[in-house]
Structure 1
Amino acid sequence: MKDAITIYVAQDNGERVELEAPLDMNLSVMEVLKANEFPVQAVCGGMAICATCHVEVLENGQGELPDMGDDEAYMLESLPHATESSRLSCQLRVNPDLDGLVVRIMPEA
């Protein structure tokens, strides 16, 4: 069994930055982004109440994304840049199904 998965961050210039995300630490995608110094504020610390970790999922990876909870859905409804594939990266836990996930960090305003 693999001990890490790969997550990609799409850049505005079309490039994709490859990140390694360990499977044994119960991290969220938000924590992986922050650890790799991407501009994710995560003001609420992963509680799904600030939306400063908003990403657009461009490709799901190996499996289905986990279902969205009510708090996450409510926060995304209030965002001007939300799309049908928007998620809060704090609510996506690193797991084997996310291997190959491609996200784009969304603007805050």
Structure 2
Amino acid sequence: MVKVIFTNISGSVIQEVEGNEGDCLLDVGQAAGQPLEGTCEGQMACSTCHVIVKDAWFDKLPPASENEEDMLDLAAGARRTSRLSCQILLTKDLDGLTVAIPSESRNMQGL
């Protein structure tokens, strides 16, 4: 199992969850009730699964593709360490991965 820590923007832990190696962060977050909309269902056609990766973890992720970077340009509250959670696959090297969901995000599917 791979532990993922969801925090608020100020860094306070909201929830710690576990996923399996190979799981997509979007799926793990949604299963845990996190407000990750994922409108395009992981097809990288939107930015509604945008997360901000804690600095210490950002360089441990594979680089974002050009398509992901284009989608992040549209993301509300994007920062230098922003990524799309649909593009992050959990590995044992990511055990303890810490991410925040921007306060600008709204899960419209949960309403």
Give the fraction of aligned pairs with identical amino acids, expressed as a percent.
31
Map Cα deviations across residues 50-91 of structure 1 (whole Å, 9 max, x no partner).
110000001418x71011011110011123411000000000
Residue type at the aligned position of 1:5: V
Unpaired segments ≥5 residues, structure 1: none
Instruction: Let me know the Cα RMSD of the aligned residues.
Output: 1.9
Residue pair 1:65, 1:97 contacting (<8 A) in 2 also: no
State the Cα distance separating 1:31 from its structure 2 match. Answer: 0.4
Alpha-carbon distance in structure 2 between the residues aligned to 1:79 and 1:12: 15
Alpha-carbon distance in structure 1 between the residues aligned to 2:76 and 2:40: 19
Paired residues for 1:1-109 under 5 Å:
4-11=1-8, 14-23=12-21, 26-58=22-54, 59-60=56-57, 64-106=60-102, 107-108=104-105
Which has a greater percent of helix?
Answer: 2
Unpaired segments ≥5 residues, structure 2: 107-111
Residue pair 2:24, 2:88 contacting (<8 A) in 1 also: yes
Which has a greater percent of strand?
Answer: 1
Q: Which runs of 4+ in 1 moved over 6 A?
A: none
Residue pair 2:47, 2:74 contacting (<8 A) in 1 also: no
Report how many residues are paired.
103
